[in-house]
Amino acid sequence: MTTEESESGSESEGEGESKVRDDLRVGVDIGGTFTDVVTIRNGAIETHKTPSTPQSPEQGVLDGLREARERGDENENEAWRYDAISFLGHGTTVATNAVLEEAWADTALVTTEGFGDVLEIGRQDRPDIYDFQAEKATPIVPRDRRYEVTERLDERGAVLTDLDESSVRAVADRLREENAESVAVCLLYAFENTDHERRVRELLTEAGVEASVSLSSDVLPEIREYERTLVTAMNAALKPVMEGYIATLGTEIADAGVSSELRIMQSNGGIIDADVARNRPVRTLLSGPAAGVQGATAIAERCGSTDVVTMDMGGTSCDVSLVENAEPVVSTDVEVGPYPIGVPMIDVHTVGSGGGSIAWIDAGDALRVGPRSAGADPGPICYGRGGTEPTITDAQLLLGRLTPSTFLGDEDAADIETVRRVTDEAIAGPLGRSVEEAAQDVVDVANANLQRALRVVSVERGHDPREFGLVAFGGAGPLHAPELAAELDIPRVIIPRTAGVLSALGLLVSDVLYDYSTSRLRRLDAIDTAELEVTFGEFEGEGHERLADEGFAAEETSFERTLDLRYVGQAFELSVPVPDGEIDEAAIETVEDRFHERHRQRYGHAYGDEPIELVTVRLRARGAVDAPTLGVEDREAAGAGSGSVENAIHETREVIYDGRGYETRIYDGTRLPVGGTFDGPAVIEAAESTTVVPPDQRVRVDDYGNLLIEVFPDE
């Protein structure tokens, strides 16, 4: 059986800590270029950006908090004190960067005799089927750090060969000699019987091995040896990295006077205690993107949309995801870099198209955009920081969609003449196009890349985009979303008022979540319902205990039960919700019907007479937070302006849409009144993003300052 409990009870649970509600709540999200800070108090939202510090990411957090406090002092906001912070949520890229840069700890693997090469073998597929020189991902643990011990369980957890403790002690001697920082233990079929793994940990401790230990029966107690071994090894490799970061950050913020416990966003869209994140860092690999999806979900629901596609487009990439019935789609089949991560994650699909993506001509004289990016330094040419290659942002500037004198957000104006010259030399000249035509081509190619990404999470998963809205955020998302929506027949676009810092806002509206799972490979028609009830009951007990320790009352907790099912003989499964109440034959019949329907929706067909196989039992424990409110009547707090829409117009100029120039009104987004409506073409400028509305679309400003765009207003 598995839980997310720490090894040897080492996690601090904050016993007796009460769950403080809405006082001064702070969310801090670290991005590649900026660290975003969002604070909410009594419905009033304040946002702040500060440069990220990749070499010392905790410094960006401290800088953001300090600068936000200083701004509070300037505004004579007496509530903005460190000791007034009742909640501090954090989205971090520490684990993600460690994986992408292979900057993890020196890790050893202990596994069953004969299985030392699982990490090396992986799966039979190649990264690129047509590339015979393609290389597989670097194994998390090198061959000389993989140790085999004598033991064997069968597929039901029965002992075939007892654990040879002398072989474990011999491994312990090697681990002490080599001073391994972390150890992963992954024994065959440990998800059915955890005894051998736990005894290995005891023996390592008794032998004086000081490294931290990760057990597969704790980290990922599920079938598929490669994925289970990989995730356990990755968790072990990331533990020293995350422990060091959280310890340093925790000490720094405590010294600054913050008394609130630090909370971390995990990949499944839920907040967890920082001590849990220390011991389960593999669950934080999509921390930032998950927070963005949560923020988008909350904004969309407030705008009356429960089914949306989210689009987070920054400087180097674009993350897209799907939300159904106000719940982000969660998957256990997500890759981070080249590694398949089997823990529950919000299903985020990433493409290398961001504002800084570089446009170039390939060997066949075809225009390409990305995945290479100019990044933040030097950045696009128009930034004036030494960039020498044209990017999507440069193309948008040439089309008139960005104001050269204001979009950089400082006193420097974009050097549009240099942008024109380089675009002409690199793109327009070779293609025999004018500069404006070349810029339109760059945006069209970028939009085609983005459109394919949106199709991956919608059409290719059995969803009709016409039944969804599109929530766009990030610095570049609102520039592209209205055009993409028209191309995909998406009827409505939502641009949050806090589009540029939505991930940080997402930290403040997310519930506390803990996922529990264990594989139980059985024919569904032969399942022991009493055994299944016991498994769910144990998970619920563990979830109740953990959430109670974090201050949640019984009425604030809920549990969601699911089963991963497949037809017998299939290789992959679908998650199906289990009805509330007693698990009896009627409940199993309901689960079967739901599986057939989900299979039909996903793959276009179902086989009602085929036997079904249970693969994994899952339970999610949820502690519902009191999400901060933003009063409809508090228009000043919402940041919306007053007066007429016309008062928000500060310029009219020609902007190019689909190769044709239109006289376009340029709006100051901070001056748009609540309830104001206007038609495109229009450009709405805000502090952190710019929204481009094509002709024939209609915009309304809602009560919270969000932009609601009707893509087909006359239909």
Query: Measuring CA to CA, which residue among 255, 237, 248 is closest to residue 56?
Result: 248
How far separated are the first and last CA of the chain, in Å rounded?
55
Can you give the C-alpha Rg of the chain in angstroms? 26
Residue pair 14/273 in contact by the 8 Å Cβ criterion = yes
The DSSP annotation for 201-236 comes to HHHHHHTT--SEEEEHHHH---S-HHHHHHHHHHHH
How much is the pLDDT for 602? 86
Residue pair 688/658 in contact by the 8 Å Cβ criterion = no
Q: In what order do the strands lie in the sheet with 682-685?
A: 649-657, 660-668, 682-685, 690-693
Residue pair 550/635 in contact by the 8 Å Cβ criterion = no
How much is the pLDDT for 5? 38
Element (H, E) at 441: helix 435-457
What are the structural domains, with CATH classification, of the chain?
104-238 (no CATH), 286-510 (3.30.420), 512-623 (3.30.1490)
Report whether the peptide linkage leading into residue 390 is cis, meaning its omega lies within 30 degrees of zero. no
List residues bridging with 666 in a β-sheet: 651, 683
Q: What is the pLDDT of residues 149-205, one digit of tens each?
A: 999 999 999 999 999 999 999 999 999 999 999 999 999 999 999 999 999 999 999
In the chain, which stretches have pLDDT less than 70? 1-22, 43, 72-79, 127, 376, 407-413, 628-642, 715
Residues in Cβ contact with 421 at an 8 Å cutoff, skipping those fewer than 6 apart? none
Residue pair 284/95 in contact by the 8 Å Cβ criterion = yes
Sequence-ordered strand ranges (E) for 4-124:
24-30, 34-41, 44-51, 85-91, 107-112
Residue pair 693/680 in contact by the 8 Å Cβ criterion = yes
Residues in Cβ contact with 155 at an 8 Å cutoff, skipping those fewer than 6 apart? 189, 192, 521
Question: What does DSSP assign to residue 428?
Answer: I
d(CA 595, CA 606): 9
Give helix 435-457 / helix 477-488 axis angle, nearest 10°. 70
Residue 162, exposed/middle/buried by CB under 10 A (0-12, 13-18, 19+)? Answer: exposed
Largest CA distance in the chain: 82
Q: What is the pLDDT of residues 379-404, one digit of tens each?
A: 889 888 888 999 999 999 999 999 88
Coil, strand, or helix at residue 424?
helix
Query: Measuring CA to CA, which residue among 650, 339, 302, 688 is closest to residue 501?
Result: 688
Residue pair 284/267 in contact by the 8 Å Cβ criterion = yes
d(CA 149, CA 220): 20
List residues bridging with 702 in a β-sheet: none
660: left (phi over 0), alpha (psi -120 to 50) or beta: beta
Question: What's the predicted TM-score (pTM) here?
Answer: 0.88
Query: Measuring CA to CA, which residue among 359, 123, 83 is closest to residue 227?
Result: 123
How much is the pLDDT for 72? 65
Q: CA 297, 298, 300, 304 torsion: positive or negative? A: positive
